[in-house]
Structure 1
Amino acid sequence: MSVIVMTIHLLAASFWIGGMLFMVLALSPYVRKLPKEISVQAYQAVGRRYSFWGTVIGLPVLFLTGLYNMKTMGVSFSQFMHPNSPYVSTLHHKVHLFILTAILAVIHDFYLGPRSHLNEKYKTAARIIGIVNLILGLSIIFLAAKLRLGG
């Protein structure tokens, strides 16, 4: 069962980070070259679809499978709250970054993103939060690799 849950966790993380990288590296450069009306429609349509799968489905799956993985690794809630080893300390940082990522994703996907076509303020804020979230996501991947190597 642990292998299946870890696989689901890794797939959800791959989808989350992969989706953000796709948006930054493939979709955005292409859509920016389109006429404004079409680019707004494209961003809004792709954003809604990705928000559903990435934020509404993906983040809760990551959270639940992460809790299960934490239990599987023998980390109790008490240990987590009072890190006493490099492994638990790294896990603690990873979870905090995940919570920040989830909060920023909700703000981006359900407030700023849908309004980003209305004015430059929303557009800039959505872009900045998107980039920050990508950096946080990559940091979480780094911490995951660190955990795999013992913390």
Structure 2
Amino acid sequence: MSIAWLPLISLHILAAVLWIGGMLFLSLILAPLLRQTHDPSSFRLLFSAAARRFRSMVRLAIVILLGTGPLLLEIRGLSIMDPSTWPSVLLVKLTLVGLLLLFTLLHDLVLGPRVLRIGSQPVATRTAQDLFLLSVSRVVPRLALLIALAVLVAAAILARSI
């Protein structure tokens, strides 16, 4: 591979770092720190603002990753149109990426808006379905983070194998 492709590779890696690093920051630093506050409404407001800002960065990262990924495959001599020639680790990585995108969409478009609505209701009026959605909304981002870390491992293996 030519050094001329280094900016493309760097952009791809930077986008992945932005996405995974942001997930780690939100789940390991911001959420626990904000849960220690005694004002739940402040917690919700700050976390929601941070999550909205992060969501726009994630969308940019996704566009960059989906744009640079196929180009990087072509550079390495792997046709995006012929998956039969792909190494198995690439199939694993792309499957994990698909799952990560699915979890991200589920979180951002389905769970997020519902959780905001539930969070604005008095606790006493919440239904069993509301409580279930709240518990699922805590699990989905954690699963997405685990999948993202697995994508990172698959990417490292892939980089060493081709």
Do the two structures share a fold, i.e. TM-score over 0.5?
Answer: yes
Q: CA deviation at 1:83?
A: 4.4
Taking structure 1 as the reference length, what is the TM-score of the superposition? 0.89
Within 1, Cα distance between the matches of 2:81 and 2:56?
33
Q: Does 1:92 align with 2:96?
A: no
Segments of 4+ moved more than 6 angstroms: none
The code of the aligned residue for 2:153 comes to: F
Gaps of 5+ in 2: 119-129
**Which amino acid letter does the alignment assign opposite residue 50 of structure 1?**
F
Q: CA deviation at 1:78?
A: 4.5
Aligned to 2:147: 136
Deviation, structure 1 residue 44:
1.1
Structure 1 pair 42–121 and aligned structure 2 pair: CA distance change class (3 A): farther
Choose 14-23 or 33-42, whichever is displaced more: 33-42
Counting aligned pairs with the same residue, the percent is 27
Aligned CA RMSD, in angstroms, stands at 1.6
Matches within 5 A, 1:61-76: 61-76=64-79
Measured in 1, the distance between the counterparts of 2:137 and 2:63 equals: 22
Distance in 1 (alpha carbons) for counterparts of 2:46 and 2:110: 17
Q: Partners of 1:123 and 1:39 in 2: how far apart?
A: 16
1:104 aligned residue: 103
Aligned residues: 146
Equivalences for residues 2-151 of structure 1 within 5 A: 2-34=5-37, 35-54=39-58, 56-80=59-83, 82-83=84-85, 88-117=87-116, 118=118, 119-150=130-161
2:124 maps to none
Instruction: State whether residues 93 and 151 of structure 2, in contact with CA within 8 Å, keep that contact through their aligned partners in structure 1.
Output: yes
Query: Is the radius of gyration larger for structure 1 or structure 2?
Result: 2
Query: Would you say the 8 A contact 1:113–1:123 is kept in 2?
Result: no
The Cα of 1:64 is off from its aligned counterpart by 1.2
Gaps of 5+ in 1: none
- Residues 106-147 of structure 1, C-alpha deviations (whole Å, 9 max, x = no match): 111232123324143333222111011000000000001101
